[in-house]
Structure 1
Amino acid sequence: MKKPLRPAEATAAAAAVVTVVLWASAFVSIRSAGAAYSPGALALGRLASGALALGVLCLVRREGLPPRSAWRGIAISGALWFGFYMVVLNWGEQQVDAGTAALVVNIGPILIALLGSRLLGDAMPPRLLAGMAVSFAGAVTVGLSMSGEGGSSVLGVALCLLAAVAYAGGVVAQKPALSRAGALQVTTFGCLVGAVLCLPFTGQLVQDAADAPVSATLNMVYLGVFPTALAFTTWAYALARTTASRMGATTYAVPALVVLMSWLALGEVPGLLTLAGGVLCLAGVAVSRSRPRARAKAEAVRATATATDPEPEQVP
């Protein structure tokens, strides 16, 4: 019988699910807002909305400044993931079709696993490697099935590749910071760092906002409040309780959810090959997050022993 998740594990798993669902929804919103906003302006508007929402939440919760030891990781992840990643991804998606972008960006979890193993000492168990291989095959299938309109360009592929590298570097830099500061602190100040770096796009944002339809602006605000402020916080919460490699593998579920959301929201009916790729993505995530039976049984035995053993006597 499968061992039930402990409360902390269940909460972290729920946080990861929230993150993946909201990040998948971002692709639909970016498609809408990106038609009216330039890449830099969209990134700045998204980050400004996210920073404002996170700042209000920090004030309500009376969160203080992160400790000095956490600032290096916050600054690096803020510059790479919140700032650079969002600009080049927005730009890249204007150059290539959605399938190619999803395929190239999904190199990110592989880079996270390699960097996490090298820099953070993350374990690379066979199930994690197998799950990543299955999910990557699914991402390739989704990407190839959605690509076919001739919208790819060398520049667009290069930009999406840069986005994947920035994503991986940001995650690996964020992980140590989460051992020194709370998830909300790391997310808030990382978002603020990204917003500050995007300030040169202020003039473009003002100009685009004056001409953009209300729906595009609302999509930009949605991107800031939900896929950024909320989803990056739940991501940080879950990342603090597992390895960077395992969390990176979890994001392979995003392409499958994007296919489903595009189907429901945009009426884009996926083909059989696309559906098959989505199933492979989800199957790979399930494999990568599973644990061997022997390990689960050993943990159950230890938990039972801890619960039944009497507390040791206190030495005066």
Structure 2
Amino acid sequence: MKDRDLSVPALLVTVTLWATAFVGIRAASDSFSPGALTLGRLQVGAVALLLVARPRLSTMPHGRTLGLVVLYGVTWFGLYNIALNAAERDLDAGTTALIVNIGPIGIAVLAGVLFREGFPRPLVIGMTVAFAGVALIAVASRSDSSAVESASTTGVILCLVAAICYAVGAVAQKPTLSVLSSSTAVWLGCVVGAVVCLPFAPTLWRELGDAPGDDIVWLVYLGVFPTAIGFTTWAYAIKRLSTGQVASSTYLVPVITIAISWIVLDEVPAALAYVGGALCLAGVAITRLRPRAARQPQP
């Protein structure tokens, strides 16, 4: 009997959990610095996946697959989270989600370079529209509070760095899933990312001692749900669907993030940031368009 394809439910789980991650990071940022929060989250995620992944030496990747695992472990699990955590010290959760989710544009650009797909007109137009949106968000962040003008600009730049790391990681992970199970691929990413963040171990230990219980709960939540579960359901879906199809589903993340952030943290993006966010998502949507001539007739 053929296994039931649960790609769509898996994507819904991912989108919801990743949306809550922006809120959780914002909530925990009062107690944990960016590197320490990343290390703690990845350690919790790796432990949570141990029983599911059941890693064995005989199933460990090698050669090209191992190289790709290291690449997405460093960029997506390590650097992405550090940049994201740092950005949310200056920007609210909703604004951060709006900027980071231009990541699919990075995926399209990488596909154009690595797979020689070129840079069709919709990609160029979409990139222009999306980055106009980012610029508008930066202006909105500055005008919303003059006291944090430079900090907000730094936050926007960090979001762009996070989006690039997300794109590189997503493209690198896709080929490994033909060899590794979804849970093993995520477990390895957590381990590699945690190794990258080991220099933050003393800071994490010190901050854990000073953090209130609520923030520690948020750290554990980030490790178990958005990381262990959310990345595994993402890997399950991307193993069965195209990277573009899965990445496009993350358009919903900012919407859910803003709603949850409003309820939990009582914060919303600046009014002008909504316009910039709409431009970002519109730009990403434009990049997914294909000329009619390029479409192949269905048999």
- The match for 2:23 is 28
Equivalences for residues 225-264 of structure 1 within 5 A: 225-264=224-263
- The match for 1:82 is 77
Higher relative contact order (CA 8 A, sep 6+): 2
Please report how far the alpha carbon of residue 255 of structure 1 lies from its aligned counterpart in structure 2 after TM superposition. Answer: 0.8
- The match for 1:159 is 158
Q: Which runs of 5+ in 2 are unaligned?
A: 291-296
Equivalences for residues 177-256 of structure 1 within 5 A: 177-256=176-255
Please report how far the alpha carbon of residue 115 of structure 1 lies from its aligned counterpart in structure 2 after TM superposition. Answer: 0.8
- The match for 1:67 is 61
- The match for 1:93 is 88
- The match for 2:168 is 169
- The match for 1:118 is 113
Mean CA deviation greater in 148-157 or 238-247:
148-157
CA offsets 1:258-286 (integer angstroms, 9 cap, x no match): 11112232344678877788888889999
Q: Which amino acid aligns with 2:235?
A: A
> How many Å separate the matches in 2 of 1:132 and 1:81?
21
- The match for 1:149 is 145
* 1:19–1:47 Cα change, 3 Å: same
Q: Which amino acid aligns with 2:249?
A: T
The secondary structure found in structure 1 opposite 2:59 is coil
Alpha-carbon RMSD: 3.7
> How many Å separate the matches in 2 of 1:286 and 1:77?
25
Mean CA deviation greater in 22-31 or 69-78:
69-78
CA offsets 1:16-64 (integer angstroms, 9 cap, x no match): 11111101001111111111011111000000000000112223x9896
> How many Å separate the matches in 2 of 1:197 and 1:167?
16
Identity of aligned residues (%): 46
* 1:142–1:131 Cα change, 3 Å: same
Q: Would you say the 8 A contact 1:132–1:249 is kept in 2?
A: no
Q: Would you say the 8 A contact 1:256–1:279 is kept in 2?
A: no
* 1:160–1:54 Cα change, 3 Å: same
> How many Å separate the matches in 2 of 1:14 and 1:63?
32
The secondary structure found in structure 1 opposite 2:37 is helix
Q: Would you say the 8 A contact 1:58–1:184 is kept in 2?
A: yes
> How many Å separate the matches in 2 of 1:96 and 1:270?
9
Please identify runs of 4+ aligned residues in structure 1 that moved more than 6 A: 121-147, 269-291
Q: Would you say the 8 A contact 2:132–2:276 is kept in 1?
A: yes
The secondary structure found in structure 2 opposite 1:26 is helix
The secondary structure found in structure 2 opposite 1:170 is helix
Please report how far the alpha carbon of residue 161 of structure 1 lies from its aligned counterpart in structure 2 after TM superposition. Answer: 2.0
1:52 aligns with 2:51: no
* 1:195–1:246 Cα change, 3 Å: same
> How many Å separate the matches in 2 of 1:49 and 1:262?
23
Count of equivalent residues = 290
The secondary structure found in structure 2 opposite 1:251 is helix
* 1:130–1:247 Cα change, 3 Å: farther
* 1:22–1:261 Cα change, 3 Å: same
Please report how far the alpha carbon of residue 121 of structure 1 lies from its aligned counterpart in structure 2 after TM superposition. Answer: 6.4
Q: Would you say the 8 A contact 1:16–1:234 is kept in 2?
A: yes
Please report how far the alpha carbon of residue 7 of structure 1 lies from its aligned counterpart in structure 2 after TM superposition. Answer: 4.7
